[in-house]
Structure 1
Amino acid sequence: MSAYLHNTIPNLKPFDYERHHDSHFINQQWVLVNGISKKKAVYTFRKNNILEIERKDASIKTSWTLNIQNIFTIETEDGIITVKAYFKDDDILVLNHQDRQEFALYINTTNYKDDLNSVEDIQSFLKEKYKKKVSNIIYDHEFYYISESEEFGPNTVEELSEKVKNEEISAYCFVRDVNEGDYSKRLRIADLMQEL
């Protein structure tokens, strides 16, 4: 992966045919983020190497080919381009141009009920998506807490919240993740409860 792409979007995972092709790539509606404020475009990669590009004023059918591992050739209006495919997560696809320092960022909207038509819509989508992800992680995770100079736990956030409601402990007790060795992050039960 080029340093340019890695510095712009860290923690990308290369396209993996077994994991991504059928379930995350084919027949999914990918909204192109680049240039959405000017013109929305939805890309759908079909099994028979057909690429459908839907715009407000036109519908285009072109082709794509998987060459090796995560390298694709795509026929565009500007000719044939070669790209490497990466996933930020299951809903964010990045196609990195192999001949230039450019990439295209796509968001999978197949299971998203609202339209993405602007930068603001994309910001709302990402905010909601990662808020849910954080809530799920926090909800299932366990933490130790300190109360009156003694450490207790591990407990889930739901259990800690219940203890606070029953006034067994203060919402301002420090907590640490079960995988952390100390309380240096200065996280409190109240901080966790806000994310639920």
Structure 2
Amino acid sequence: MSAYLHNTIPNLKPFDFDRHHDSHFLNQKWVLVNGISEKKSVYTFKEDNVLEISRKDNIIKTSWTLDIQNVFSIETEDGLISVKAYFKDEDILVLNHQDKDEFAMYINTTDYDDEINSVADIQNYLKEKYQKRVSNVIYEHEFYYISESEEFGPNTVEELTDKVKSEEISAYCFVRDVNENDYSKRLRIVDLMQEL
């Protein structure tokens, strides 16, 4: 991976054919983030190496191939380009140009109900996506809490919320993740409740 890409978007995972090809890549609607304020483009990599690029009222059909080293060759309006694919997560794809310090970023909108036509729409998409992820992680996770100088737990956030509602404990009790050793993050039950 080029230093340029790594410095711009850290923690990318390389495309893994077995893991990504069928479930995360093929037949997904990938909205191109780059230049979305000028024109919206949706890329769909299909079987038989067909690439559909949808823009407003027209669909361009072109081709793509993948070699043994996970380098994609894509036929574009500018000619044949070689890119290496990376995932930020299952819904963010980055294609790194092999001959230039350039990359294209895409977001998967296959299961997203709202239209994405602008930078603000992308921000809303990402905000909603990561809020759901945080809520799911917090909802399933367990925490210890301190009440009247004594530690209790572990409890899920739902259990802690019930204890607060029944006035068993204060919403301002400090909590720590089961994987942490102390309460130095100064997180309280009320902070967890706000994330749900």
**TM (normalized to structure 2)?**
0.97
Structure 2 spans left out of the alignment, 5+ residues? none
Tell me whether 1:191 sits opposite 2:191 in the alignment. yes
Q: CA RMSD in A?
A: 0.9
Residues of 2 paired with 1:3 and 1:149: CA distance?
49
Query: What residue is the counterpart of 1:146 in the other structure?
Result: 146
Point out 4+ residue stretches in structure 1 off by more than 2 angstroms.
Answer: none
Which residue is 2:51 aligned to? 51
Structure 1 residues 157-168: aligned runs within 5 Å: 157-168=157-168
Deviation string for 1:112-160 (max 9, x for gaps)? 1111111111111110010000000000000011111111111000000
The residue type equivalent to 2:78 in the other structure is D
Residue type at the aligned position of 2:71 = I
Please tell me whether the aligned partners of residues 17 and 69 of structure 1 are also in contact (alpha carbons under 8 angstroms): no
Structure 1 counterpart SS, 2:47: coil
1:84/1:95 contact within 8 Å kept: yes
Q: Which amino acid aligns with 2:68?
A: I
1:64 Cα deviation from its structure 2 partner: 0.5
Cα separation, 1, equivalents of 2:159 and 2:135: 15
Q: Which residue is 1:100 aligned to?
A: 100
SS of the residue 1:121 aligns to: helix
Q: Does 1:134 align with 2:137?
A: no
Alignment check: 8 A CA contact 1:15 1:69 kept: no
Residues 66-81 of structure 1: matches in 2 within 5 Å? 66-81=66-81
Shift of 1:57: 4.4
Please give the per-residue CA displacement for 1:48-96, whole angstroms capped at 9, x wherever unaligned: 0011111114321111111124311111111111111011111110001
Give the whole-Å Cα distance in 2 for the aligned partners of 1:193 and 1:173. Answer: 12
Segment drifting more, 32-41 vs 7-16: 7-16
Aligned residue-pair number = 196
Q: Which residue of 1 aligns with 2:9?
A: 9
Q: Aligned to 2:115, what secondary structure does the other structure show?
A: coil
Residue 46 (structure 2) pairs with residue 42 (structure 1): no
Amino acid at match of 1:111: D
1:10-69 CA-partner distances (Å, limit 9, x unpaired)? 111111111111111111111000000000000010110011111114321111111124
> Secondary structure of the equivalent of 2:67?
strand
Indicate the residue corresponding to 1:27 in structure 2.
Answer: 27
Matched ranges for 1:75-94 at <5 A: 75-94=75-94
TM-score, normalised relative to structure 1: 0.97
Partner Cα separation in structure 2 for residue 69 and residue 119 of structure 1:
33
CA distance in 2, matches of 1:55, 1:24: 22
Paired-residue identity, %: 81
Letter matched to residue 53 of structure 1:
I
